[in-house]
A and B are shown apart, each in its own frame.
Chain A
Amino acid sequence: MMKGNFEPKIIGFFCKWCTSAAADLAGTSRKKYPANVIPIRFFCSSRIDPQHILQAFRNGADGVLIGGCHFGDCHYQNGNYKTARRVALLHKLLEGMGIDKRRLRLEWISAAEGEKFTKVIKEFTDEIKKLGSIQGKN
């Protein structure tokens, strides 16, 4: 592994009503961002079980990005509140497991926020690059 050439592998768990739509908007607006985040589409961020996140880390994901709707906007009333609680608890557990909790990021991005989506992808990719590979090399 050459220093400085580390390209993190990041999984994005995005809810179809808000964040995924924002990603679509970013695409339609021809924004450009690094390709490190591979998206997986859910109906709601509350479908995301912490075990999926842990599976991602176990399988080599250097970072996990979760995107849901702003509070009050969830298509299914209160799914995002559940996600928030789960991620808060999971953050605590990650430290205990020796995984830097910055590798898991939760963002609320509405369908109109193509700009914000782009910005988050860039920032998160950068951050993970700095944190290095989750496997400790680099």
Chain B
Amino acid sequence: MKRIGVFICHCGINIAKTVDVEALTEEIKKYPGVVHAENYKYMCSDPGQNLVVDAIKKQKLDAVVVAACSPTLHENTFRNTSERGGLNRYVCEMANVREQCSWVHDDKAIGTTKAAHIIKSIIEKVKYDEALEPILVDVTRRALVVGGGIAGIQAALDIANAGIETILVERSPSIGGHMIQLSETFPTLDCSQCIMTPKMVEVAQHDKIKLLTYSEIEEISGSVGNFKVKVRRKSPFVDWEKCNGCGECDLACPVSTDNEFECHLATQKAIYRPFPQAVPNRFTISKLGQPPCRIACPAGVNAQGYIALIRAGKYKEALELEREANPFASVCGRVCNHPCESDCVRGEVEEPIAIASLKRYVADVGSYPLEQKKPTGEKIAVVGSGPGGLSCAYFLAKMNYRVTVYEAENVAGGMLVLGIPEFRLPRNAIQADIDYIKSFGVEIKTGVRVGETMSLDDLQKNHRAVFIATGAYEEMKLNIDGEDLRGVLHCISFLEKVNKGEKITLGKKVAVIGGGNAAVDAARVAKRLGSDVTILYRRSRREMPANSWEVDEAEREGVKIEFLVAPTKIIGTNRMQEIECIRMELGAPDASGRRRPIPIEGSEFRIPVDNIIVAISQKPQIDWLEPAFERTKWGTLVVDPDTLETKVKGVYAGGDVVTGPATIIEAVAAGKKAAEVIDAHIRGVPVVHKQYKKGRPEPEDLKRIQKVLRAEMPKLDVNKRSKFDEVELGFEEEVAKKEAERCLNCAICCECLQCETVCEPKAIAHDLEDKIEEYDVGALVVATGFDLYDAERLKEYGYGTVQDVVTSLQFERLLSASGPTAGELKRPSDGRVPKRIVFIQCAGSRDKENHLEYCSKICCMYTAKHALLFKHRVHDGEPIIFYIDVRTSGKGYEEFYNRVTDEGTLYIRGKVSKVYQDNGRIVVLGADTLSGKKVEVDADMVVLAPAMVPTEGNEEFVRKLKIQCDAKGFLTEAHPKLRPVESQTMGIFLAGAAQGPKDIPEVVAQASGAASKAIAILSQDKISFEPTVAGVDEDLCSGCSICVGVCPYNARELDKEKMVVKVTEALCQGCGSCSAACPSGAAQQKNLVDKQIEQMVVTVLEEK
């Protein structure tokens, strides 16, 4: 039971006149719990306070009630007094018997009664008050500023100059924000860069500022004094420690992309520096990932890369780049089935790039001397010299392995040489690629059939590893009657004979059975040998596995195709004469996804033919391998899909022998993968499989691209195709370059590595990854800035359709000496100097109905500035400004505006309805409300003043920090009048345009204001919070979490393990919402618990 002392103040006659203090004192003395009661004329005076101190000590008081004026005046005073007496300050309460009693009642009896009730209620409260200690929190003496525009820069400098370590985080590669993009600033017409760059340099050189550009806040936790911030340092793919900003890389890079700093009026290279005075002055690479073409290619050939090099005329480098992933440049440039082209994003505009043909161009255009290398490493054996085997050998040899390729035939090349006709793939093209492979020290032994001439065991004894790539060349049979009659030919052996130059005689009519590339090749060969050829295929055209362009060529050459037909019998004696076929129809899809052909009963018919060529598929010939080598039910070799190793250790396999008949590029990919795995296994290191992220432009960006048709491959005239001359003739240089121009640079940087070759300090680092850094800070300043409203949404103003309609920021760049036109005012469309420019204010602002309701504040002034600068550059220029109001509310602004109108700008009051292009003129439809006339103006150029909006991504960012922004996305201040630089979260301050549209002097002032607030927190060792916060009685808490949602400060959260709510006291502001919401009474606000309130209520209502 507390020993309570009550002190009643007369306050002169203020209280004593209408409250009988003596009688009251006597009454209170008798009140349960009160051990001491006295009254005094002026309790707040020194003697008055001393009474309290003495009483506490002498009477050993546990609690004090001072009945006097409003606690807003003297609560602190008497709490300090109580502390001096040795009492905890929170057990001292005031009862307001002056403002809320003695001053508002006349009747002394009534006044005294009410005063008694009030005092007694406070006595009841103080009975249950706990002795509390202010909540003290250590302060981490470090600040973090988010945003490197003028607001962030100023705030960082102010805090750093106070001797406090400051981290400045900026998401683009350089600080400067939008201010650095401006040409001159109003009203002084200072050159923006001239006034800003000294500050930027000061930031970079300040010993108390840690500058983190190209970085973003990833995560933030904690509260004022103790924030933990995770910052993502994005990878610029350049080592900034080494980069010296020389710019050689910029000159060497063949990829151009949109330049955001120049507001899309110029391009920049994939490796770029945002502007010459960038801080830090380093280069950054824009890389979105890997382009779709590279991801689609099984071998990962860098198509975007070599196409970029073709654009730059660097054909040797292009060929080298291509061959890093695939040695078969000449071959694949001609006969690859190019899955890259199917995924080429240009195909979404009109047609994909002719990637394969461009590859052929670089393979053909130059012949470069081959340096013969001699590897010295371990010996590896490869069985089979097709594309799979030779690729594996190539990649292993590049890693210094000594590879021997064992080929059963007399000539190397596998299916390339044996299965593909010369008019598609000339022998010298194959030889060029094989010679290249051999130059790496690969030895090819032809005429050696492993399994006969030598055994696999022999190979394993002499080589560290073996790669089997024997392909799939054994023909599948039709298994119908008459297949062994003379005149029945099988496709691969047919093509082989022709390729070897052996003589073959075919009859007049030839039928080819099958629909794959081999069938089409065989058909075209047969045609060249003089026969009348028909392909019989059992499904329809859509299901034909052959490359569609090959099928088209075959038809152009006169080959006929009959669909939905299958042979049932071959008829003849000794020699075939007829073939019986049955018609098919398509049923449900089979395992390959293609519709299954079903014979139509009773539809048999016969065709007289002299020869048939069966081309229905092939399978591997692996009988020579021991049973230890597991086979699939289709007769292919089983391997581990990740390592390509067979069931026998040290023996690997890939290509058609594993997959069944597939494509060349898949065989190349398998060979490459096997080489990497073999190398990893030999060195005993883990196998690394690269994961690629796809980078490509957004579909909306494709709409602006002008359509250009794909380059056409010149072909040999159809009538001249009787011999086996190559049908496709290849591109000319201008055609190849023009085709390469169509490439959209999907991933932007294509890793062509030209930058690497010219970088002297070796700063290029394509493998550099993002990293996360953690920082402890005590306070934050958010200065994330603004963007301009998307002018394309102002459709009637023609932005995006009329080229000479630009935004104000674009106009700044046009005026800027370091801009895309070197400061000469030129129209974007034709470079002419504009004579009449129409400026449209309020483009998007003050438009509640269609765009944004608010006024963007700066546009009236900068438009006036633009008009003036225009007049300065073009002396006979005519600026016309359409306005609704002219707002000139700063120092020197009205004077500036007068200067602008004096020097010859015409202001027309009326909001423009529409801007459009008509026969080369730009027409502006406006009005002059002052004279009541509609106005039509012909302009050379139109400049829009779009609304100021918060930066892109601000809303998600704000959620991370748990601060608020308003409905338009601007940061919400704690109080619009009195606390404009504080957010609603303690310790997080706001500065600049992120909080609302404003001009540079206001931004700078606000930044300094925010900095001072941050300094106030950071210059203390500890900060203290009022302890009248809400707690949690864990015994009563059921974890219902109602209080969590009710708290405006996110101070409460559910501990999922214990199923009770926990409070972060430093965040709790003591409103008590949770205490009212809690159904069980577990949440109670300290020193204002339910029990206290109940007691107060009961006491107040007691009869006197």
The reply to whether A and B meet directly (CB within 8 Å) is: yes
Give the CA-CA distance A47 to B1077 in the complex, in Å.
8
| Residues 86 to 121 of chain A near chain B (Cβ within 8 Å) | 86, 118
* B105, A32: Cβ atoms closer than 8 Å: yes
Given contacts A9-B1101, A24-B72, A47-B1088, contact A39 B100 (CB under 8 A): yes
Give the CA-CA distance A49 to B1078 in the complex, in Å.
9
Q: Say if the beta carbon of A23 comes within 8 Å of chain B.
A: yes
Q: Residue on A with the closest CB to B964?
A: A77
Give the CA-CA distance A47 to B1072 in the complex, in Å.
4
Given contacts A35-B105, A46-B1073, A46-B1076, contact A40 B72 (CB under 8 A): no
One of B46-54, B114-122, B473-481 contacting the partner:
B114-122
Which A residues are in CB contact (< 8 Å) with B104?
Answer: 26-27, 30-33, 35, 118
Which B residues are in CB contact (< 8 Å) with A9?
Answer: 1100-1101
Give the CA-CA distance A82 to B1048 in the complex, in Å.
11
| Residues 90 to 147 of chain B near chain A (Cβ within 8 Å) | 96, 98-101, 103-107, 110-111, 113-114, 117-118, 121
Which A residues are in CB contact (< 8 Å) with B1071?
Answer: 43-44, 46-47, 75-76, 79
Most chain A CB within a 10 A radius of its CB, from B96, B117, B1070, B1073 = B1073
| Residues 17 to 71 of chain A near chain B (Cβ within 8 Å) | 20-21, 23-28, 30-33, 35, 38-44, 46-52, 55-56, 59-61
Which B residues are in CB contact (< 8 Å) with A60?
Answer: 1101
Q: Say if the beta carbon of A128 comes within 8 Å of chain B.
A: no
| Residues 1024 to 1051 of chain B near chain A (Cβ within 8 Å) | 1028, 1046, 1048
* B1085, A47: Cβ atoms closer than 8 Å: yes
Q: Say if the beta carbon of A138 comes within 8 Å of chain B.
A: no
Q: Say if the beta carbon of B1016 comes within 8 Å of chain A.
A: no
Type the 1/0 row for B5-36, where 1 means its CB is closer than 8 Å to any CB of A. 00000000000000000000000000000000
Given contacts A23-B99, A27-B99, A47-B1088, contact A52 B1100 (CB under 8 A): no
* B1090, A11: Cβ atoms closer than 8 Å: no
Give the CA-CA distance A23 to B103 in the complex, in Å.
11
* A32, B1048: Cβ atoms closer than 8 Å: no
Give the CA-CA distance A56 to B1096 in the complex, in Å.
10
* B1075, A40: Cβ atoms closer than 8 Å: no
| Residues 272 to 319 of chain B near chain A (Cβ within 8 Å) | none
From B70, B110, B1069, A24 is in contact (CB under 8 Å) with: B70
* B1072, A44: Cβ atoms closer than 8 Å: yes
* B1097, A59: Cβ atoms closer than 8 Å: yes
Q: Residue on A with the closest CB to B1096?
A: A40
Q: What's the least CB distance linking B843 to chain A, in Å?
A: 31
Q: What's the least CB distance linking A8 to chain B, in Å?
A: 11
* B105, A76: Cβ atoms closer than 8 Å: no
Q: Say if the beta carbon of B712 comes within 8 Å of chain A.
A: no
* A43, B1094: Cβ atoms closer than 8 Å: no
Give the CA-CA distance A56 to B1097 in the complex, in Å.
6
Which A residues are in CB contact (< 8 Å) with B1100?
Answer: 9, 11, 38, 40
Total contacting residues, chain A, CB less than 8 A:
43
* B99, A40: Cβ atoms closer than 8 Å: no
Q: Say if the beta carbon of B194 comes within 8 Å of chain A.
A: no
Q: What's the least CB distance linking B983 to chain A, in Å?
A: 12
Give the CA-CA distance A44 to B1075 in the complex, in Å.
11
Q: What's the least CB distance linking A21 to chain B, in Å?
A: 7
Q: Say if the beta carbon of B984 comes within 8 Å of chain A.
A: yes
| Residues 1044 to 1069 of chain B near chain A (Cβ within 8 Å) | 1046, 1048, 1069
Give the CA-CA distance A86 to B1104 in the complex, in Å.
32
Total contacting residues, chain B, CB less than 8 A:
42
Given contacts A21-B72, A46-B1072, A49-B1075, contact A35 B100 (CB under 8 A): no
Given contacts A27-B100, A35-B105, A47-B1085, contact A77 B1097 (CB under 8 A): no
Q: Say if the beta carbon of B251 comes within 8 Å of chain A.
A: no
Q: Say if the beta carbon of B1093 comes within 8 Å of chain A.
A: yes
Q: Say if the beta carbon of B600 comes within 8 Å of chain A.
A: no
Given contacts A78-B1048, A79-B1071, contact A39 B96 (CB under 8 A): yes
Given contacts A21-B72, A38-B118, contact A43 B1101 (CB under 8 A): no
* A52, B1101: Cβ atoms closer than 8 Å: no
Give the CA-CA distance A52 to B1094 in the complex, in Å.
6
Which A residues are in CB contact (< 8 Å) with B103?
Answer: 27-28, 30
Given contacts A35-B110, A52-B1093, contact A77 B1101 (CB under 8 A): no
Q: What's the least CB distance linking A50 to chain B, in Å?
A: 8
Type the 1/0 row for B851-893, where 1 means its CB is closer than 8 Å to any CB of A. 0000000000000000000000000000000000000000000
Give the CA-CA distance A27 to B68 in the complex, in Å.
13
Which A residues are in CB contact (< 8 Å) with B1090?
Answer: 49, 51-52
Q: Say if the beta carbon of B1098 comes within 8 Å of chain A.
A: yes
Give the CA-CA distance A55 to B1092 in the complex, in Å.
12
Which B residues are in CB contact (< 8 Å) with A32?
Answer: 104-106
* A28, B99: Cβ atoms closer than 8 Å: yes
Q: What's the least CB distance linking B75 to chain A, in Å?
A: 10
Which A residues are in CB contact (< 8 Å) with B1028?
Answer: 43
Q: What's the least CB distance linking A79 to chain B, in Å?
A: 5
Which A residues are in CB contact (< 8 Å) with B1088?
Answer: 42-43, 47
Which A residues are in CB contact (< 8 Å) with B106?
Answer: 32
Most chain A CB within a 10 A radius of its CB, from B71, B104, B113, B1090 = B104
* B1076, A48: Cβ atoms closer than 8 Å: yes
Q: Residue on A with the closest CB to B103?
A: A27
From B117, B1048, B1098, A76 is in contact (CB under 8 Å) with: B1048
Q: Residue on A with the closest CB to B102?
A: A27
Give the CA-CA distance A25 to B99 in the complex, in Å.
7
Given contacts A24-B100, A55-B1094, A77-B1048, contact A38 B117 (CB under 8 A): yes
Give the CA-CA distance A23 to B100 in the complex, in Å.
6
From A27, A41, A75, B98 is in contact (CB under 8 Å) with: A27
* B1096, A47: Cβ atoms closer than 8 Å: no
Chain A contacts to B: CB under 8 angstroms: 9, 11, 16, 20-21, 23-28, 30-33, 35, 38-44, 46-52, 55-56, 59-61, 75-79, 82, 86, 118
Shortest Cβ-Cβ A-B pairs, 6 listed: A47-B1072, A27-B99, A76-B1071, A27-B103, A77-B1048, A44-B1071
Instruction: Show 15 residue pairs from A and B whose CB-CB distance is below 8 angstroms, ordered by the A residue.
Output: A9-B1101, A24-B72, A27-B98, A27-B104, A35-B101, A38-B1100, A43-B1028, A47-B1075, A47-B1088, A49-B1075, A49-B1093, A51-B1090, A61-B1097, A76-B1048, A76-B1073
Given contacts A27-B100, A31-B104, A79-B1048, 11 further A-B contacts (CB under 8 A): A24-B100, A27-B103, A32-B106, A35-B105, A38-B118, A39-B118, A44-B1072, A46-B1071, A46-B1076, A48-B1076, A49-B1075
